[in-house]
Amino acid sequence: MLGYYNKLSSEVYDIDKYIGLSFGDVEFYSDRLASCKGNILEPGVGTGRILIPLLQKGLKVDGFDVSEEMLKICRNNCEQRGLKPKLFEGKMESVSLDIKYEAIIVPTGTFLLLHRREDSIKALKNFYHHLSKGGRLILDIFLQTDISIGKVSTRTWESKNGDIITLENKVVEVDYINQYTISHNRYEKWGDGERIQTELERFPLRWYGIEEFKMILEQIGFEDITISADYQYGQYPTTSSQIITFEAVAHKE
């Protein structure tokens, strides 16, 4: 079975979503977490695009990822800036830690990579378990609006040494009942006119209705849920293209 975020796709992620790039999310998360005195956890930490600015603001943030390739890049990006966060490999739905966090954050729609409903529910329950009383979950999702089967898109990047990386993305499965798509990605690296590396990737992506996701959070035990659109706190979404952020509090007895 093809995995995702292996060597080439992780390299592309680091080029395309480089440290210092913000979609409004870096400022939003920095602002929402500014009052945190305790530990923060970022599942699906990737290459550290959100993690690093938070660490530079003096926040205490741990991170984990299912991709060892992503973690390698993240560690390198942190080391270059003199940062030494706790980073480790793990899955959102099964990671087990002996620490409670004041906040858990999952920016940029990373949570949607859990395309099976049962895995996503397990992950949310796991987040709840790892939050201290009154701790907050802050999580982004987005809607899938163009999901025709067979649709192909291509993109190209230049790596630091001048090699060219191409990506061909093709939607191969749309499951409307279970609310997910599967795409196949083909990465190729080219140098001096020759193909030097190829990587195939199976890329799943789930979608949720906005009120559906709020109800799921409530069923798990979260309260005081605030929904924001495009990183404008408390502004309810009005168009299907907006990034949707949920902030929810773990009120425990």
Q: Is residue 2 part of a domain?
A: no
Same domain, 134 and 186: no
Same domain, 124 and 68: yes
Same domain, 166 and 237: no
Q: What is the 3-state secondary structure (H, E, C) of 29-88?
A: HHHHHCCCCCEEEEECCCCCCCHHHHHHCCCEEEEEECCHHHHHHHHHHHHHCCCCCCEE
Same domain, 56 and 124: yes
Same domain, 97 and 33: yes
The DSSP call for residue 247 is E
Tell me the residue ranges of DSSP E strands in the chain.
Answer: 39-43, 60-65, 87-89, 101-106, 131-141, 152-158, 164-175, 180-191, 194-206, 222-229, 244-250
Same domain, 134 and 166: no
The two tokens of residue 64 are 């984990």
The answer to pTM > 0.85 is: yes
Q: Is residue 177 part of a domain?
A: yes
Q: For each of the chain's 253 residues, which pLDDT tens digit applies?
A: 456 678 888 998 999 999 989 999 999 999 999 999 999 999 999 999 999 999 999 999 999 999 999 999 999 999 999 999 999 999 999 999 999 999 999 999 999 999 999 999 999 999 999 999 999 999 999 998 878 888 899 999 998 889 999 999 999 999 999 999 999 999 999 998 899 999 999 999 999 999 999 999 999 999 999 999 999 999 999 999 999 999 999 986 6
Q: Is residue 22 part of a domain?
A: yes
Same domain, 176 and 58: no
Q: Is residue 1 part of a domain?
A: no
**Full domain range(s) for residue 136:** 7-143+208-250
CATH code, 128: 3.40.50.150
Same domain, 114 and 126: yes
Looking at residue 136, what is its pLDDT?
Answer: 98
Distance (Å, rounded) from C-alpha 3 to C-alpha 53?
Answer: 29
Q: Is residue 118 part of a domain?
A: yes
Residue-wise pLDDT for 52-71, tens only, equals 999 999 999 999 999 999 99
Same domain, 76 and 37: yes
Same domain, 139 and 180: no
